[in-house]
A and B are shown apart, each in its own frame.
Chain A
Amino acid sequence: GEDVEQSLFLSVREGDSSVINCTYTDSSSTYLYWYKQEPGAGLQLLTYIFSNMDMKQDQRLTVLLNKKDKHLSLRIADTQTGDSAIYFCASGSYIPTFGRGTSLIVHP
């Protein structure tokens, strides 16, 4: 079946950029997604990218898609302590497959 892989942890300093990476196997994915989960809460849709796009920018968020390598990344500019959360990558053409999530830790 489909597989989505993410590193489990990322630690950055406040004000720096964060880059969270994801690889996926489902080449038929129409959309690829990034979700954010804060402690004790549900998943919040952060952004998504259509599979025929290379890049999407939304304020501090930049999504890059390399379809050839099946690699997706999420860049957060000027990372703040409020960005500390678990970030999930998801891909799929019908029911998305989720990665295990990357814990982003932002320290002063």
Chain B
Amino acid sequence: SQTIHQWPATLVQPVGSPLSLECTVEGTSNPNLYWYRQAAGRGLQLLFYSVGIGQISSEVPQNLSASRPQDRQFILSSKKLLLSDSGFYLCAWSRQGLAGTDTQYFGPGTRLTVL
């Protein structure tokens, strides 16, 4: 069966510090991978998605970047955190393939607080 991991689970960082959040998927190959941010208003904002190694699509301009160095690894980074980067970050995966196979499965999330 497939499993998705995120770490760390919680993180408190000062403004201006760097960030690295990691997501890994087990039990599947060549997944689509996604980073979402969930702010206090609870809606999910799609930040990045990736259909393969080294292929990153950015949905919104921002202070963050993403990388996919391996097939089942997705990393969210920042060089200098802003207060507005605080939130709950969710990684998700879905199977590659035909339309209608886009069901997303979510990781446990990382709570980031920037002070």
Contacts and interface: CB of A to CB of B under 8 A. Distances in A.
Given A41-B108, A42-B107, A42-B109, A100 B42 contact: yes
A95 to B, nearest CB: 6
Classify chain B: how many residues form its interface, as a range.
20 to 34
Given A41-B108, A44-B106, A95-B49, A30 B43 contact: no
Classify chain A: how many residues form its interface, as a range.
20 to 34
B106 A42 contact: yes
Contacts of B44: 43, 88, 98
B102 A96 contact: yes
Interface in B69-115: 90, 92, 99-100, 102-109, 111
B34 interface: yes
B109 A96 contact: no
A95 B43 contact: no
Given A94-B99, A95-B102, A100 B109 contact: no
Contacts of B34: 95
B41 A48 contact: no
Interface of A: 30-31, 33, 35, 40-45, 48, 50, 86, 88, 90, 92-96, 98-101
15 contacts: A31-B102, A31-B103, A33-B103, A42-B107, A42-B109, A43-B106, A44-B106, A45-B104, A50-B100, A88-B44, A92-B102, A94-B99, A95-B49, A96-B102, A98-B44
